[in-house]
């Protein structure tokens, strides 16, 4: 689990068509990285680290969320899960 200031990852962040990402595969996460959807000084390093962690061994997952939502995230009710 990576704890950060934002509950979930978003595409089109701070735009009218902003969309929260609840669950991503590694391939989907990489696609969004390649599209430049995550800011270099913000969510990008977290998503890249999650991709490396999950890709290193089958069956791993990573959750990105806030400290306040961490318990809910473990129950699948908050955060972005990358598998």
Task: Return per-residue pLDDT of the chain as tens, 83 residues.
Answer: 999 999 999 999 999 999 999 999 999 999 999 999 999 989 999 999 999 999 999 999 999 999 999 999 999 999 999 99
H/E element holding 78? none
Distance CA 83, CA 29 (A): 9
In the prediction, which pLDDT does 41 show?
Answer: 87
In the prediction, which pLDDT does 6 show?
Answer: 92
Distance CA 53, CA 2 (A): 11
Distances (CA, A) of 58 to 31, 36, 54, 61: 20, 26, 7, 9
Cβ neighbours for 27, distance < 8 A, ≥ 6 positions apart: none
In terms of Cα–Cα distance, which of 28, 18, 74 is closest to 51? Answer: 28
């Amino acid at each position: 689990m990576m704890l950060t200031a934002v509950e979930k990852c978003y595409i089109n962040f701070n735009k009218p068509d902003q969309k929260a990402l609840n669950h991503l595969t590694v391939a989907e996460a990489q696609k969004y990285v390649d599209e430049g959807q995550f800011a270099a000084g913000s969510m990008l390093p977290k998503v890249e680290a999650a991709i490396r962690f999950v890709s290193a061994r089958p069956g791993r997952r990573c959750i990105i969320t806030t400290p306040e939502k961490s318990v809910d995230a473990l129950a699948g009710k908050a955060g972005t899960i990358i598998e």
